[in-house]
């Protein structure tokens, strides 16, 4: 076989291997797990209060994806972006908007195939568009609730670290290292901010902004006041941990006492929907009067409005704040 051909084949093989390796290194550096984790940390560092903008000018501003031009015209998109950050989901505003539009389109197509009137199709599209927002809201509430449950143990650890002679910034680093998400990640971000040159007061304020938990705000305010007036910070953390645990006990008692009311709300809310579904299965033409007759359409509108008002009212009754 020709030597020139063999040399060309070997060189081509080496070129292909090096090209594949280069493509893998580029992809892993931009879209790999470590790159995504670093990008999330940098974006979280810029999600605090606007008073720290100059201190964090060396960091890349959090991008809003395809919604960046709209963010300048609609300020509430900034709040929605922070809402997404608090949920812990790796979503951008562009992805959220596209998901809402896709769900709305699917719901409208399904309503059209089911021969639902135009008003019902628009209602189904609106409900479909709200599903991703409810999903994000559920993740955000669960993440904040998990963080709130971790807060007493964090206060105990901070108190023990201070009694052992560690500085407060070192205690924050220990809390970020020892605790799981979401508390561990948020305290690591706070420690990174301090290392980047942000003052302790602004770093704690950023932590309270990223995690809008009431007990955390009390903790941050107490620490800021203690830094101005002096005192035993370890005892302060012990008192806050005891207060949070006592509030949790009271909240659990209230939740048990209101369980019957919440169950009644679910039963009363789902009973008309379940009954209508069973009637439609047994006799599909029985409920056609609600779609074809004008009086039936008005009656159906009144039923829906009454159910929504009743659900809101029952929720306000059984939801007791502690």
Matching residue, tokens 């960091």: 59
Q: Would you state the pLDDT for residue 65? A: 45
Residues 281, 190 share a domain:
no
Across the range 118-124, mean pLDDT stands at 76
Q: What is the DSSP string of 189-226?
A: HHHHHHHTT--HHHHHHHHHHHS--HHHHHHHHHHHHH
The region, left, alpha or beta by phi > 0 then psi within -120 to 50, assigned to residue 197 is: left
Residue-range definition of the domain harbouring residue 270: 258-322
Tell me if 164 is assigned to some domain. Answer: yes
User: 197-209 as b/e, with b when 16 or more CB fall inside 10 Å?
Assistant: ebebebbbbbbbb
Tokens found for residue 227:
């830094």
Residues 266, 220 share a domain:
no
Tell me if 157 is assigned to some domain. Answer: yes
Q: Which ranges of 88-182 would DSSP assign to H, the alpha helix?
A: 93-113, 118-163, 168-178
Residues 155, 224 share a domain:
yes
Tell me if 315 is assigned to some domain. Answer: yes
Q: How many domains does the chain have?
A: 3
Residues 225, 203 share a domain:
yes
Q: Would you state the pLDDT for residue 58? A: 40
Q: What does the alpha-carbon distance between residue 163 and residue 174 come to, in Å, rounded to a whole number?
A: 14
Tell me if 43 is assigned to some domain. Answer: no
In which band, very low, low, confident or very high, does the pLDDT at 4 lie, cut at 50, 70 and 90? Answer: low
Asked if residues 125 and 104 have their Cβ atoms less than 8 Å apart, the reply is: yes
What's the whole-number average pLDDT of the chain?
79
Q: Which of 251, 269, 290 is the last residue of a domain?
A: 251
Tokens found for residue 29:
């550096």
Tell me if 119 is assigned to some domain. Answer: no
Asked if residues 65 and 94 have their Cβ atoms less than 8 Å apart, the reply is: yes
Q: What does the alpha-carbon distance between residue 42 and residue 171 come to, in Å, rounded to a whole number?
A: 22
Residues 180, 149 share a domain:
yes
**Cα dihedral value 17, 18, 23, 27, nearest 10:** 100
Tell me if 15 is assigned to some domain. Answer: yes
Q: Would you state the pLDDT for residue 49? A: 43
Residues 316, 294 share a domain:
yes
Across the range 159-176, mean pLDDT stands at 89
* Position 67 pLDDT exceeds 50: no
Residues 264, 247 share a domain:
no
Q: Which of 251, 283, 309 is the last residue of a domain?
A: 251
Residues 275, 247 share a domain:
no
Residues 264, 180 share a domain:
no
pLDDT single digits (tens) 300-322: 888 888 888 887 887 777 776 65
Tell me if 84 is assigned to some domain. Answer: no
In which band, very low, low, confident or very high, does the pLDDT at 42 lie, cut at 50, 70 and 90? Answer: low
Residues 160, 195 share a domain:
yes
* 100 vs 296, residue with greater confidence: 100
Q: Would you state the pLDDT for residue 40? A: 66
Residues 151, 244 share a domain:
yes
Asked if residues 207 and 186 have their Cβ atoms less than 8 Å apart, the reply is: yes
Residues 228, 293 share a domain:
no
Q: Would you state the pLDDT for residue 39? A: 66
Spatial CA neighbour of 64 closest among 73, 56, 53: 73
Spatial CA neighbour of 167 closest among 186, 196, 198, 194: 194
Tell me if 318 is assigned to some domain. Answer: yes
Across the range 226-246, mean pLDDT stands at 87
The CATH number given to whatever domain includes residue 203 is 1.20.81
Across the range 136-158, mean pLDDT stands at 91
Q: Which of 251, 275, 307 is the last residue of a domain?
A: 251
């Amino acid at each position: 076989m020709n030597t020139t051909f063999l040399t060309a084949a070997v060189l081509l093989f080496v070129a292909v291997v090096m090209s594949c390796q280069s493509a893998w290194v580029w992809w892993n550096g931009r879209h790999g797990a470590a790159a995504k984790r670093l990008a999330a940390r940098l974006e979280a560092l810029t999600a605090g209060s606007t008073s720290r903008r100059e201190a964090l000018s060396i960091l890349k501003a959090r991008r809003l994806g395809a919604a960046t031009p709209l963010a300048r015209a609609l300020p509430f998109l900034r709040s929605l972006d922070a809402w997404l950050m608090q949920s812990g989901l790796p979503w951008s505003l562009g992805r959220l908007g596209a998901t809402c539009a896709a769900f709305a389109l699917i719901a409208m197509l399904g309503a059209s195939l089911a021969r639902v009137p135009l008003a019902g199709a628009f209602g189904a599209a609106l409900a479909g568009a709200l599903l991703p927002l409810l999903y994000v809201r559920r993740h955000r509430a669960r993440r904040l609730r998990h963080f709130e449950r971790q807060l007493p143990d964090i206060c105990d650890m901070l108190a023990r670290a201070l009694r052992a002679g560690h500085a407060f910034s070192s205690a924050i680093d220990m809390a970020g290292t020892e605790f799981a998400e979401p508390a561990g990640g948020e305290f690591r971000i706070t420690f990174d901010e301090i290392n980047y040159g942000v003052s302790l007061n602004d770093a704690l304020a950023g932590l309270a902004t990223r995690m809008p938990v009431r007990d955390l705000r009390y903790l941050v305010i107490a620490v800021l006041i203690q830094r101005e007036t002096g005192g035993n910070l370890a005892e302060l953390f012990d008192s806050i941990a005891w207060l949070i645990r006592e509030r949790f006990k009271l909240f659990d008692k209230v939740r048990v006492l209101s369980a019957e009311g919440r169950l009644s709300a679910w039963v009363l809310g789902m009973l008309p929907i379940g009954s209508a579904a069973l009637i439609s299965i047994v006799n599909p033409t029985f409920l056609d009067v609600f779609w074809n007759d004008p009086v039936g359409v008005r009656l159906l509108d009144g039923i829906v409005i009454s159910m929504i008002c009743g659900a809101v009212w029952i929720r306000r009754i059984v939801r007791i704040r502690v």
